[in-house]
């Protein structure tokens, strides 16, 4: 029972880490596109 909950907890943490990384990538991409638009708009 303890091992099972431990594995479930680890899987849950890994899932949260994957979601966090995905959100960070989306936010980074958004800022890159925003910066590019600003840069292209100034030319």
DSSP H helical segments within the chain, as ranges?
2-42
pLDDT exceeds cutoff 90 at 12:
no
* Neighbour-count burial of 39, counting CB atoms closer than 10 A to its CB (0-12 exposed, 13-18 middle, 19+ buried): exposed
Range of the domain at 30: 1-43
Give 2-11 pLDDT, tens digit per residue.
566 667 778 8
Mean pLDDT over 15-25 rounds to 95
> What's the structural domain count of the chain?
1
SS3 1: coil
């Amino acid at each position: 029972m303890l091992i099972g909950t431990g594995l479930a907890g680890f899987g849950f943490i890994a899932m949260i880490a994957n979601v966090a990384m995905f959100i960070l990538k989306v936010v980074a991409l958004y800022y890159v596109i925003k910066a590019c638009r600003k840069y292209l708009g100034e030319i």
